[in-house]
Structure 1
Amino acid sequence: MKLGVMLGIAFLFFMLFPMKHVFAETLKSPSVFKDVKWAYDHEASVIDENGWTQAMCATDKYLVCLENGVQGEPDTLIAFYKTDKDEDGYSVPQFSYARHVRETDYEHGNGMTFNPNTNELIIATGGPSNPDNRGCLMIADADTLEYKRTIKVTDMDVFFSGVDYNSQTNQYVLQMGRSGGYSFAVADADFNILYIIDGVKRVKGTTFQDFCVYGDYIISISYGLSSGVDNYIQIYSISQKKRVGRYYLNFADYEEKREAEGICQIEPGKFIISTGVAAPRRIRFYSVTVPIVYNIQADAVNGSVNESDIQVDPQGECKVTYKPDKHYELGSITIDGEEIDVTKYPSEYTFSDVEKDHEISIKYKKIPKYKIVTSAENGTVSKSKSVYRGNNFKITFKPDLHYELDSVLVDGKSVTIEGDQTQYILENVQGEHAIDVKFKEVPTYEIITKIYGGKISEGSKKIYRGENFKISYEADKDKAFLLGILIDGKFVSKDQYKNSYEFQSIQGSHTIQVIYVSDFIPLCIIVVTVIIILITGYIILTIKRRKRRIFKGKKRKRIKKD
Structure 2
Amino acid sequence: MKKNKGNLCRMLRFCIWYCMIVGVIWGVCHPLRVHADIYDASDLIYADWEAIGELETSSARGWPQSICVTDKYIVCLINGAAAEAIPDTLIAFNKDDYSYAFEVTERDYEHGNGMTYNSKTNEIYVMPGPCLDKENEGNIYVVDADTLHWKRTFQSSSGQNFGGIEYLESTDQYVVSGGNGSKFRLMNSNFEILKIIAPRTKPPGSTYQDFCVTGDYIISPCYDGESKVDNYFVIYSLSQGEYLNTFYADLPGDDEKKEIESLCEIEPGKIMLGVGISNPRRVRLYVATLRAAYDITASAKNGTISASEETVEGGTDYQVNFQPNEHYELSQLIVDGEQVESDPKQTEYTFRAVSGNHSVQAIFTEIPQYKIKTKVIDGKIDETASVYRDEDWTVSYKPKKHYELSSIWIDGTSINIENAKDSYTFTNIQGKHDIRVKYTEIPSWAISTSVKNGTISDSIRKAYRGSSHTIQFEGKKDYVLYEVKVDGVKVDKKQFTDSYTFADISGAHNIQVVYIWKYLWVCALLGAAFAAFLIFYIRIRIIRRKKRKKRQEERELRAKELAARELAENENADDITENAENMTETADDSTEDTEDMTQTTDDHTEDAVSEEKITDSEETGE
Query: Contact 1:229 / 1:259 at 8 angstroms: preserved in 2?
Result: no
Give the CA deviation at 1:510.
7.3
Equivalent position amino acid for 1:255 in 2: D
Give 1:222's aligned residue.
Answer: 222
What is the 5 A alignment of 1:200-239? 200-224=200-224, 230-239=230-239
Q: CA 1:286/1:443 → structure 2, altered by over 3 Å: closer, same or farther?
A: same
Please point out which of 159, 165, 168 is paired with 2:167: 165
Checking the alignment, whether the CA contact within 8 Å between 1:228 and 1:259 is kept in structure 2 is no
What residue is the counterpart of 2:505 in the other structure? 506
Q: State yes or no: 1:140 paired with 2:148.
A: no
Q: CA deviation at 1:146?
A: 1.1
- Alpha-carbon distance change, 502 to 259 in structure 1, aligned in 2, over 3 angstroms: closer
1:495-526: CA deviation from partner (whole Å, max 9, x where unpaired): 99999986542334679999xxxxxxxxxxxx
Shift of 1:268: 2.0
Contact 2:273 2:287 in 1 (8 A): yes
Q: Is the 8 A contact 1:35 1:247 kept in 2?
A: no
How far is the alpha carbon of 1:303 from its aligned partner?
3.7
Q: Deviations over 1:281-310 (max 9, x none)?
A: 222222222222323333445544445554
Aligned to 1:100: 103
Moved over 6 A (4+): 446-450, 456-461, 469-473, 484-488, 491-502, 510-514
Question: For the Cα contact (< 8 Å) 2:209–2:261, is it kept in 1?
Answer: yes
Which runs of no fewer than 5 residues in structure 2 stay unpaired?
1-33, 451-455, 474-478, 514-622
Q: CA deviation at 1:40?
A: 2.6
Contact 1:122 1:138 in 2 (8 A): yes
- Residue 420 (structure 1) shift: 8.6
- Answering whether residue 70 of structure 2 is matched by residue 59 of structure 1, we say yes
Match of 1:79 among 85, 88, 92: 92
Deviation at 1:235, TM superposition (A): 1.8
Once residues 149 and 458 of structure 1 are traced to their aligned partners in structure 2, the CA distance between those partners, rounded to angstroms, is: 108
Residue 466 of structure 1 corresponds to which residue in structure 2? 466
Quick check: 1:293–1:314 contact (8 Å CA) kept in 2?
Answer: yes
Q: Once superposed, what is the RMSD of the aligned Cα atoms? A: 4.2
| 1:294 maps onto 2:294 in alignment | yes
Displacement of 1:469 after TM fit? 6.6
Distance verdict in 2 for CA 1:495–1:354, change over 3 Å:
same
Distance 2:221 2:459 in 1: 111
Letter in 2 for 1:505: D
Aligned-partner Cα distance in 1 for 2:171–2:263 = 20
Equivalence map 1:440-519=2 (5 Å)? 440-445=440-445, 463-468=463-468, 504-508=503-507
Which residue in 2 is equivalent to 1:10? Answer: none
CA shift digits 1:141-185 (9 cap, x unpaired): 2222211111322233x212112223343333222238xx72222
Among all aligned residue pairs of Structure 1 and Structure 2, give the percentage whose two residues are the same amino acid. Answer: 40
Give the alignment partner of residue 118 of structure 1, picking from 98, 106, 121: 121
Is 1:109 the equivalent of 2:97? no
Shift in CA distance, 509/230, structure 1 to aligned 2, threshold 3 Å: same
- What letter matches 1:171 in structure 2? Q
C-alpha change, 1:133 and 1:337, in structure 2 (3 Å) is: farther
The amino acid that maps onto 1:258 is K
Q: Indicate how the Cα distance of structure 1 residues 68 and 415 shifts in structure 2: closer, same or farther if over 3 A, else same.
A: same
Q: Distance in 1 between matches of 2:411 and 2:128?
A: 80
TM-score, structure 2 length as denominator? 0.66
Partner Cα separation in structure 1 for residue 408 and residue 299 of structure 2: 47
- 1:57 CA displacement: 1.7
Task: Give the equivalent residue in structure 2 for 1:342.
Answer: 342
TM-score, structure 1 length as denominator? 0.72
**Structure 1 pair 307/222, CA: closer, same or farther in 2 (3 Å)?**
same
Deviates more, 1:287-296 or 1:350-359: 287-296
Structure 1 gap segments, 5+ residues each: 1-22, 84-93, 451-455, 515-562
The corresponding residue for 1:130 is: 133
Q: Does 1:28 align with 2:39?
A: yes
For 1:206 and 1:81, locate their aligned partners in 2 and report how far apart those are by CA, in whole Å. 33
**Is this contact kept in 1: 2:371–2:385, CA < 8 A?**
yes
Please state how far the C-alpha of 1:242 moved relative to its aligned partner.
Answer: 1.8
Instruction: Tell me what 2:199 maps to.
Output: 199
1:282 aligns with 2:282: yes
User: Structure 1 residue 422: deviation in Å?
Assistant: 2.0
1:44 aligns with 2:44: no
What's the offset of the Cα at 1:419? 7.9
Amino acid of the structure 2 residue aligned with 1:146 = H
CA offset at residue 408 of structure 1?
A: 3.0
Would the aligned equivalents of 2:52 and 2:98 in 1 still touch at CA under 8 Å?
A: no
Distance verdict in 2 for CA 1:404–1:52, change over 3 Å:
same
Query: Relative to structure 1, is the Cα distance of residues 336 and 407 closer, same or farther in structure 2, using a 3 angstrom cutoff?
Result: same
State the alpha-carbon separation in 2 of the partners of residues 275 and 68 from structure 1.
13
Secondary structure of the 1:295 match is: strand
> Higher helix proportion, which one?
2
Greater Cα offset, 201-210 or 325-334: 325-334
Q: Distance in 1 between matches of 2:188 and 2:228?
A: 37
Does the 8 A contact of 2:468 with 2:501 survive in 1? yes
Between the aligned partners of 2:327 and 2:470, the Cα distance in structure 1 is 57
What SS is found at the alignment partner of 1:32? helix
Aligned letter for 1:75? D
Post-superposition CA distance 1:459-489 (Å, at most 9, x none): 888543224578999xxxx9xx99x99979x
CA contact (8 A) 2:36 2:292 kept: yes
Q: Which amino acid aligns with 2:92?
A: A
User: How far apart are 1:352 and its partner, in Å?
Assistant: 0.7
More strand as a share of residues: 1
Report deviation, 1:494: 8.2
* Structure 2 CA distance for aligned equivalents of residues 344 and 458 of structure 1: 67
Shift in Å at residue 107 of structure 1? 0.6
Q: Distance in 2 between matches of 1:174 and 1:218?
A: 11
Cα 1:204–1:292 shift into 2, 3 Å: farther
- Kept in 2, the 8 Å contact 1:229–1:257? The answer is no
Give 1:442 deviation, angstroms: 1.4
User: Which structure ranks higher in relative contact order (CA pairs < 8 Å, sequence separation ≥ 6)?
Assistant: 1
Look up the match of 1:91: none
CA distance in 2, matches of 1:254, 1:198: 36
Q: Which amino acid counterpart does residue 428 of structure 2 have in structure 1?
A: N
Equivalent AA in structure 2 for residue 60 of structure 1: D
Alpha-carbon distance in structure 2 between the residues aligned to 1:512 and 1:97: 122
**CA 1:117/1:468 → structure 2, altered by over 3 Å: closer, same or farther?**
closer
Q: Separation in 2 of the partners of 1:349 and 1:72?
A: 58
Deviates more, 1:460-469 or 1:231-240: 460-469
**Mapped contact 2:124–2:142 kept (Cα < 8 A):** yes
Residues 334-392 of structure 1, C-alpha deviations (whole Å, 9 max, x = no match): 32233333317711111112111222233444445555454433222334545444333
- State whether residues 30 and 244 of structure 1, in contact with CA within 8 Å, keep that contact through their aligned partners in structure 2: no
Change (3 A) 1:226 1:418: closer
Q: What is the DSSP-based 3-state SS (H/G/I as helix, E as strand, rest coil) of the residue aligned with 1:31?
A: helix
Structure 2: distance between partners of 1:227 and 1:502 = 107
Tell me: CA distance 1:497–1:44, structure 2 relative to 1, closer, same or farther (3 Å).
closer
Describe the SS at the equivalent of 2:417. coil
Counterpart secondary structure, 1:507: coil
Matches within 5 A, 1:384-395: 384-395=384-395
Letter of the aligned partner of 1:145 in structure 2?
A: L
For 2:310 and 2:316, locate their aligned partners in 1 and report how far apart those are by CA, in whole Å. 12
Quote the offset at 1:72 in angstroms: 1.6
Q: In the alignment, what sits opposite 1:68?
A: 79
Shift of 1:105: 0.9
Distance 1:186 1:492, change over 3 A: same
Q: Which amino acid aligns with 1:103?
A: E
How far residue 123 of structure 1 moved from its aligned partner, in angstroms, is 1.0
Larger Rg belongs to: 2
Quick check: 1:151 aligned with 2:164? no
